[in-house]
C-alpha cells in the first residue's frame, strides 16, 4: 500500500473511531462488555470475544457487520483491499484503547491495556 493510501486510511480511521465511540455511548451492553474485558480490539480491525456467551458474541457480531460494511465502502473509495483497510483500522483502534480494556497482541494473546502503549504489530505506523 502506498503512503498516500495509508494516510487516507488513517484519516478515515480517526473519523470512524469517533463514530465507534458514539456507538458505544448508545449501546450500554457494548460499553458494559468492553469495560468488563469481555470484548477486545483485534489487529484485523474487528472486535473479538475475550470471554462470555452468546449475548457477548451477538454484540460483537453486530458491530463487526457494521465495521465490515464501512471497511468495504472506504476501501473501495481509497483503492485498497478491505483487509488492508481493516488492518490499518485495527492498528489505530488498538492504539486508542484505554487502560483496563482488552486487545489482541501480535502474538495472538489477549492483553489488558495498561498506562503504557499497547503491543502492536511492527507494521502499524
Instruction: Give the pLDDT of residue 23.
Output: 53
pLDDT in tens, 87-120: 999 999 999 999 999 999 999 999 999 999 999 9
Confidence check: pLDDT of 86 > 80: yes
pLDDT value of position 53: 95
Using only C-alpha atoms, the chain has a radius of gyration, in whole angstroms, of: 14
Q: For 40, phi and psi rounded to 5 degrees?
A: -145, 160
Cα(52)–Cα(34) distance, integer angstroms = 11
Average pLDDT rounded to a whole number, residues 45-74: 96
Q: What local confidence, expressed as pLDDT, does residue 18 receive?
A: 46
The pLDDT of residue 16 is 53
109 Cβ partners below 8 Å, 6+ apart? Answer: none
pLDDT cut 90: percent of the chain above it: 75
Angle at 89 between CA 92 and CA 69, to 5 degrees: 150
User: Percentage of the chain surpassing pLDDT 70?
Assistant: 80
Interatomic CA distance for residues 5 and 7, integer angstroms: 5
Per-residue confidence (pLDDT) for residue 4, from 0 to 100: 52
Mean pLDDT of the region 32-43: 96
* CA–CA gap between residue 14 and residue 51 (Å, rounded): 27
Amino acid at each position: 500500500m502506498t503512503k498516500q493510501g495509508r494516510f487516507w486510511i488513517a484519516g478515515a480511521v480517526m473519523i470512524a473511531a469517533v463514530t465507534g465511540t458514539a456507538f458505544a455511548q448508545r449501546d450500554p451492553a457494548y460499553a458494559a462488555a468492553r469495560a468488563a474485558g469481555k470484548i477486545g480490539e483485534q489487529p484485523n480491525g474487528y472486535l473479538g470475544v475475550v470471554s462470555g456467551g452468546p449475548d457477548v458474541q451477538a454484540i460483537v457480531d453486530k458491530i463487526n457487520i457494521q465495521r465490515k460494511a464501512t471497511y468495504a465502502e472506504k476501501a473501495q473509495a481509497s483503492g485498497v483491499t478491505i483487509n488492508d483497510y481493516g488492518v490499518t483500522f485495527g492498528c489505530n483502534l488498538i492504539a486508542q484503547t484505554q487502560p483496563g480494556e482488552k486487545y489482541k497482541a501480535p502474538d495472538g494473546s489477549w492483553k489488558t491495556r495498561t498506562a503504557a502503549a499497547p503491543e502492536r504489530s511492527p507494521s502499524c505506523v
